[in-house]
Amino acid sequence: MIKKRLVTIVGCLIVVSLIATGCAKVGEDITVETKDPEYGGVLNISMINDPQGFDDAIQAHYNCQSLKLTNEELWTGDWAKGRAGGHGSAECDWFNGGGLNRVEHKAGAVAESWEIVGKDTMIFHIREGIKWHDKTPVNGRELTADDVVFSLNRQCTLPTAYMKRTYPQASASMQISAPDASTVMIKCEPKYFGDIITMLDYMEIYPREAVEEFEDMSDWKNSIGTGPFILTDYVPGSLMTFARNPNYWEKDPVGPGSGNQLPYVDGIKLYIIPDESTSLAQFRTGKLDILHQVDWEIAQEFLQMPQLKHVSYFDDYGQACIYMRTDKKDSPFADKRVRQALWLAIDNQQILDDYYGGEGTLLKWPLMEFKEYAGAYVPLEQLPESVQELYGYNPEKAKQLLADAGYPNGFKAKIICYNQRAYTDPLTMVKAMWAKVGVELELEPKEWGAYTSVIARRAYDDMLFGYYSGAGTCFKAINYTGSGMYNGGYIDDPVLNKARDEMLAAYPDEVVADQIHRELMPYLLEQAYVIALPAGKQYRFWWPWVRNYSGEYSMGYYNLYNYSKYVWLDQELKESMFGK
């Protein structure tokens, strides 16, 4: 068992009686914003690692975090369908780190409107008056349909592009054209339609002449987009600085600021802070405005600070599961009995209780319980007993299954993981549990760059504690079919392949696709192709001077930080609390 760190409340914590803040309480954590927004101030937030690039046709989109502030996609998540400072419809929470991707929750970004024609064509009507950042060589000219066609074609043809690497057949089938200056038409084979729809919420648009002049956009100094912020400085290992785009097109859609020009803040400072204790200290002292991802253990300190606001939530962003080389016929993992034995040898409830304070879920893969995907999910208690048993703890049955499979004395295995506490700590508990049934596990932690390279190439011999694709791709079944990076277990099961084809054939009818996925879950879980450890609840904390904010993180599909254009800062309140 891992000994938990004692939570120490720092003596310098400022305990204040908050002045009237112009908010009415809704539920435990969410407030309704009633005060008129104010312009100005700098939003201070942080991330753990440096971005690996500034061009998502060269690096994967999820490693190019600054693009979500500087550039835009055809469509994105709809702020007004979230909490939106208590004024949204709350169809979505947008707490999740990125996996939400339902068509019904989209809003136009570069595209003002769209039409889905059958299951092979999408027509996007490009918004008029969108201007590129006022930087050479574009000098603030208006975005055109040609920019969109150029950018999307680039994503489908460059060997380094995530779309080309992950969905090569879909990329090859795409036909992208501009019938006129304000229209983009995308056609593809029907079986790839789901891939195309997903792509459109994370592939950024770039100006053609900038890419042609610079060859690519990998140098941050060449950053040019149409987004709400302009990247003005980057110090690796330290800070990215963004300034407000004065020519941004969007208006605040709901709340007291409805109709106001966005964004409200003058800029953003996005600090790179790999050391957890440093980021916590920065937040305690008000140098960070928001603490995005906090686990149960750390949260105990901040929950005792009544001046802070918070939400708790489930998130599949960064969640990992144990992949095994099921494709190697001479490997123990090719045998279902071994896989089930390993699962039965894990006391999942103990991990949940000891590591996550009992606040979490045992069932997180292939889909977590999100209200947006309720139709695709089966709660653990509704699954067959044979599946529920796997989430229990039965080391004696595990030993018997191992013996039946020809491993009465167990075996040795090595598992690659990310060298970060949230990954290594649970695996250390698993290692001790597996030792009781004769399985000797060796952990091989890697730094972020090396770790993500292993995942992208599926380059491991025994086991990998790797992340998986979020809820937004459940209808594509990429976590357990195909040759992509998220099928970390090299799974090739005719039953799963058939269900995938049926879901893709049904899409974009999300109701039908959800039902197919729901019916598949019992079979998929019983095969134990993947061992998913419990997931703890996550917390998000912020200071009360961050206004019109309800805990959002990503609106749409892996659009981290894009909430920032809607929030504003009560600088007077901050000064009253910290004197600065």
Burial class (CB in 10 A: 0-12, 13-18, 19+), 157: middle
Please report how many Cα atoms fall inside a 13 Å half-sphere around the Cα of residue 165, on the Cβ side: 14
Are 98 and 253 a contacting pair, CB within 8 Å? Answer: no
Please choose, from the candidates 135, 72, 82, the residue with its C-alpha nearest in 3D space to the C-alpha of residue 104: 82
Q: Are residues 146 and 216 in the same domain?
A: yes
Residue 550's pLDDT is 96
Q: How many CB atoms lie within 10 A of CB 318?
A: 18
* Residues 495 and 548 grouped into a single domain: no
Both tokens of 78, joined, read 């709809």
Inside any domain, residue 11: no
Judge if 425 and 551 occupy the same domain: no
Position 20 in a domain:
no
Domain termination site, one of 518, 536, 554: 536
428 and 476 together in one domain: yes
CATH number of the domain bearing residue 46? 3.40.190.10
- The pLDDT of residue 198: 82
Measured CA to CA in angstroms, residue 301 lies from 274, 331, 420, 425 at distances of 20, 45, 21, 20
Please tell me whether residues 306 and 368 are part of one structural domain.
no
Domain presence at residue 25: no
Instruction: Give the Cα-Cα-Cα angle 383, 388, 393 (nearest 5 degrees).
Output: 170
- The two three-digit tokens of residue 414, written as one number: 């090595």
DSSP letter at 245 equals -
Is residue 15 domain-resident? no
Angle at 127 between CA 550 and CA 213, to 5 degrees: 100
C-alpha span between 231 and 225 (Å, rounded): 10
> Would you state the pLDDT for residue 31?
77
Burial pattern 476-499, b for ≥16 Cβ within 10 A else e, equals bbbbbbbebbbbbbbbebeebeeb
Residues 395, 532 within the same domain: yes
Note whether residue 14 is domain-resident. no
Distance (Å, whole) CA 497 – CA 477: 8
User: Coil, helix or strand for 532?
Assistant: coil
CATH number for the domain that contains residue 429: 3.10.105.10
Is residue 186, in this structure, part of any structural domain at all? yes
The DSSP code sequence of 467-506 is: E---GGGGGGTTTTSSSSTT-TT----HHHHHHHHHHHHH
Same domain? For 101 and 143 the reply is yes
Residue 328: count of CB within 10 angstroms of its CB = 13
228 and 283 co-located in one domain? yes
Amino acid (1-letter code) at residue 455:
I
Residues 154 and 229 occupy one common structural domain: yes
Q: Which domain holds residue 482?
A: 320-536
pLDDT one digit per residue (tens) for the chain, 580 residues? 333 333 333 333 333 333 333 443 333 456 798 999 999 999 999 999 999 999 999 999 989 999 999 999 999 999 999 999 999 999 999 999 878 899 999 999 999 999 999 999 999 999 999 999 999 999 999 999 999 999 999 999 999 998 998 888 899 999 999 999 999 999 999 988 988 888 899 899 999 999 999 999 999 999 999 999 999 999 999 999 999 999 999 999 999 999 999 999 999 999 999 999 999 999 999 999 999 999 999 999 999 999 999 999 999 988 999 999 999 999 999 999 999 999 999 999 999 999 999 999 999 999 999 999 999 999 999 999 999 999 999 999 999 999 999 999 999 999 999 999 889 999 999 999 999 999 999 999 999 989 999 999 999 999 999 999 989 999 999 999 999 899 999 999 999 999 999 999 999 999 999 999 999 999 999 999 999 999 999 999 999 999 999 999 999 999 999 999 999 999 999 999 987 6
Q: Clarify whether residues 402 and 358 are in a common domain.
A: yes
- Please check whether residues 79 and 205 belong to one and the same domain: yes
Per the CB < 8 A criterion, the answer to whether 87 and 33 are in contact is: yes
* CA distances for 438 relative to 327, 391, 398, 426, 443, angstroms: 23, 20, 10, 19, 16
pLDDT of residue 381: 97
Indicate whether 549 and 448 sit together in one domain. Answer: no
- Total structural domains in the chain? 2
